[in-house]
Chains A and B, each alone.
Chain A
């Protein structure tokens, strides 16, 4: 079994699976149960100033479900901890002492005033915790009071508070980012500029889960009205992966440690976050749906995967897939693929046919010798992958890459081994300028 031990900004944990700052990490009781189950670390639910906030006493959570009631997405309107600061600090100290090998990171959210941070940081540090996470992500409730995502949406504030924290505390500082922005690279750069040791992302996404059509009331509602909540769970994973990768490949932030969050349901999700630059992952929804035991399946899967692939540490995988992420204009336009149907596996549902016929390129035939039979028409297939994406049977519809020298029967052109992207394409009005610039660079380099 591969060793899953992780070191992240100097914080050690027996595995990369941390519970995110959220309801599961609000109390000693829950966190001890989590550690007993095997979680590598926790980010304690966000502490604030006394007197503690008050939560609603109606629905705080709602889910988006599949047909068999599997949770696909999850939304919450719970605020930061609603327990007195000292209660939390005492519990954090006890738990860290009892579980010294686990990562204990404390999430903090106080007003954007230097004195507020200066006051709370020593109290937190005194618990013996391993690090702090600045909650600049929470998009509901606290953001209306000038905290949470309303800080995370202003890079200057991020930089300022990060700097205060580095000044008033010796602990590693992780800045938790909100996805409710247009370009995640700016807040990440600000965190780095402020001296933060790492970023964690994504926090939750502004969301309304549904509308009750009988009462014409938004869902969830507390009585007659509701408020947007933070969206997380499986559905947000693609958004989170992109934001993690954007930071990992941005020259200004490349190499900055990232704790990946957003729809980690299993080891595979975790490995994907790690491959795109995350040193650890944080989990909440999976635990809130299945309980803490799920971490054992995550550890088992990750460890077996690493053994199969020959990785001996999590660190070896961090960022392995980042170089494959690039801009559209760098994509090779000479690369040609065609869909292929494995007739032995095909169950004849015909969804590939109707999807292609109705919405794409009319590149699949539905009959052969008068019988139901689905076949790709290479001369029409543009390689869009729609049929592969919607086929209900695994390994039945796949893509085949045409080799250089083969003829693409759709265009009649021979596939070239040369790499050629949009910047040099004749249809690009700017391609002449691109070519001139490239030539100039080549000359300068020479």
Chain B
């Protein structure tokens, strides 16, 4: 995350303060209000406490969902939080951002007979919120100090989960992060209404409260500190670098004001204290089909943009944003146009005025352009066609595959003392919950490897 400030000064039909303070407050409040006690009890009562529960199997971190729900019903909030956080130390954020409709809730057996799964995500949020509100004595304590020192690169979900796991096992951990705050995408990459009230930082504070974790902010590996020095200084290194690069849209991009990366727009929104200061175009075009596209499009609407269109080159089924996310965009007044690829950035006086798109279709499994084109007028164009891994900081120390870091199932890279997880690791679905699992498993693997070394 490099640029937090807008690269386009307000001009033309791009301006701040489109809405009243009350409208901003309403637009950026909790998208899905938490369950009340009464709602949580009723919802908890719906859980069948399945044998070998399919929801648990579907959870990348394997949370014992029937038990945490049973404990809500029993009034044992601390026990419920323990069941969640012992499997997933970022269970509070995952409760907010997991695409549950394709994970635990899709597997819920209630879907089979009544098409209405138990609201597992909302219950998980209920339990973790209630626990964080009154945490009491620490849920997890550190094992006897091992004297080992670990470096974790990146304080995102993978790095934090790994650091927490290593700290629990008695290791000392130093986390290096390029940004001024920890949290990674939880802090800079999610739509504001998904995680209100500074929850990302609350969660980070709780994670670090276990002790033994030292965070070095504004420390970019490959720039402020080298991977070689980390390998030399520490017993093991975990890389949770995320995806620092933004994919290009693949056409000529003239130097034009009003065209920017969606991730920067989202990060700026997350860090603002006053939405009225953020400029937004009257007509916004978002190019892409993932969660970032949806978050950028919906938040443009919430900042007061009148026409917001997501343009994606394939069909609804191919979008990496879930059906639920697409519906969320549409109910917030965002139009989604499928089967269209960007052809040309249109501009005048150095400012973007619109985009020309080519219609596409699938022919024999290949995406081709039909020859038809259309134009969408735009004051702002947000590019959200995916992020890419930037390998330079690795200094060619670890092997890549498909442009990301190759690891075994436990996260071990080609380098015997370097592990990796999260979006920078090849083969995942780029989900927060997967990144947490990577970090958690890697911590156990590092511990096992070091213990074996010690034994030998």
A366 touches B45 (CB 8 A): no
B50 in contact with A345 (CB, 8 Å) = no
B-contact bits for A5-24, CB 8 A (1 contact / 0 none)? 00000000000000000000
* Candidate in B51, B73, B109, B112 with the most chain A CB atoms within 10 angstroms: B51
CB-nearest residue of chain A relative to B41? A67
Q: What total of chain A residues lie within 8 Å of the partner, measured CB to CB?
A: 16
**B376 at the A interface (CB under 8 A):** no
Which residue of the partner chain, among A345, A347, A354, contacts B110 with CB atoms under 8 Å? A347
Bound-state CA distance A354–B66 (Å) is: 14
The reply to whether A347 and B45 contact each other, CB–CB distance below 8 Å, is: no
Whether the Cβ atoms of A345 and B113 lie closer than 8 Å is: yes
- Given contacts A68-B41, A68-B42, A351 and B112 within 8 Å (CB-CB): no
Q: Are B51 and A351 in contact (CB under 8 A)?
A: yes
The B9-55 residues at the A interface (CB cut-off 8 A) are: 38, 41-42, 44-45, 48-54
Q: A351 touching B52 by the CB < 8 A rule?
A: no
State A354–B110 Cα separation when bound (angstroms).
Answer: 18
Size class of the contact patch on chain B? 10 to 19
Give the number of residue pairs across the A-B interface with Cβ within 8 Å: 41
Chain B residues with Cβ under 8 A from A348's Cβ?
50, 54, 109, 112
Within 8 A of B (CB), among A343-378: 345, 347-351, 353-354, 366, 372
- Chain B nearest Cβ from A353, distance in angstroms: 5
Q: Report the minimal beta-carbon distance from B112 to chain A, rounded to whole angstroms.
A: 4
Complex Cα–Cα for A354 and B42 (A): 24
Residues of B within 8 A of A438 (CB): none
B45 in contact with A67 (CB, 8 Å): yes
**Inter-chain contact A67/B44, CB cutoff 8 Å:** yes
Q: How far is the CB of B71 from chain A (nearest CB, A)?
A: 13
Q: How far is the CA of A382 from the CA of B360 in the complex (A)?
A: 63
Interface residues of A in 188-208 (CB under 8 A from B): none
Interface residue? A66 (CB, 8 A): yes
Whether A354 lies near B51 (C-beta < 8 A) is yes
Q: Is the CB of B109 within 8 A of A347?
A: yes
6 CB < 8 A contacts A-B: A66-B45, A68-B41, A347-B112, A350-B52, A372-B52, A393-B113
State in angstroms the CA–CA spacing of A366 and B50 once bound together.
12
Say whether B48 contacts A349, CB under 8 Å. yes
CB distance from A356 to the nearest CB of B (A): 10
| B113 proximity list for chain A (CB < 8 A) | 345, 347, 393
Contacts A67-B73, A347-B113: A392 and B48 contacting too (C-beta < 8 A)? yes
Interface of A is mostly: loop
Which residues on A sit within 8 Å (CB–CB) of B41?
67-69
B46-74 at interface with A (beta carbon < 8 Å): 48-54, 73
Q: Are B42 and A350 in contact (CB under 8 A)?
A: no
Residues from chain B with a CB closer than 8 A to the CB of A372 are 52, 54
Given A347-B110, A348-B54, A348-B112, the answer on whether A67 and B48 have CB atoms closer than 8 Å is no
Contact of B42 among A67, A353, A392 (CB under 8 A): A67
**Could you tell me if A366 and B42 are in contact, using CB atoms closer than 8 angstroms?**
no
Structural contact, B48 and A351, CB atoms closer than 8 A: yes
Which 7 pairs across A and B sit closest by C-beta, in order of nearness? A67-B45, A350-B51, A354-B51, A347-B112, A347-B109, A349-B50, A349-B48
Query: Which chain B positions have C-beta within 8 A of A354?
Result: 51-52
Which residue on B lies nearest to A354, using beta carbons? B51
Contact of A349 among B44, B45, B51 (CB under 8 A): B51
Given contacts A350-B50, A372-B52, 16 further A-B contacts (CB under 8 A): A66-B45, A67-B42, A67-B44, A67-B45, A67-B73, A68-B41, A68-B42, A68-B45, A69-B38, A69-B41, A347-B113, A349-B51, A350-B51, A350-B52, A350-B53, A351-B49
Contacts of A349 in B (CB 8 A): 48, 50-51, 109
State how many angstroms separate the Cβ of B58 from the closest Cβ of chain A: 12
Find residues 369-399 in chain A having any chain B CB closer than 8 Å to their own CB: 372, 392-393
A351 to B112, alpha carbons, bound, how many Å? 15
CA distance A115 to B41 in the complex (A): 56
> Which residues on B sit within 8 Å (CB–CB) of A347?
109-110, 112-113
Residues of chain A within 8 A of B50, CB atoms compared: 348-351
Q: How many Å lie between the Cα of A67 and that of B73 in the bound state?
A: 7
Closest-CB distance, B355 to chain A (whole angstroms): 47
- Shortest C-beta distance, A311 to chain B (Å), equals 34
- Expressed in whole angstroms, the minimum distance between the Cβ of B426 and any Cβ of chain A is 28
Q: In whole Å, how far is B36's beta carbon from the nearest beta carbon of chain A?
A: 13
CB distance from A222 to the nearest CB of B (A): 25
B109 to chain A: which residues have CB within 8 Å?
347-349
CA–CA, A372 and B44, complex, Å: 24
Mark out the residues of chain A between 31 and 84 whose CB falls within 8 Å of any chain B CB in the assembled complex. Answer: 66-69
How long is the Cα–Cα vector from A407 to B43 in the complex, in angstroms? 45
Task: Output the least CB separation between B70 and chain A (Å).
Answer: 10
Complex CA distance for A69 and B50, rounded to whole angstroms: 22
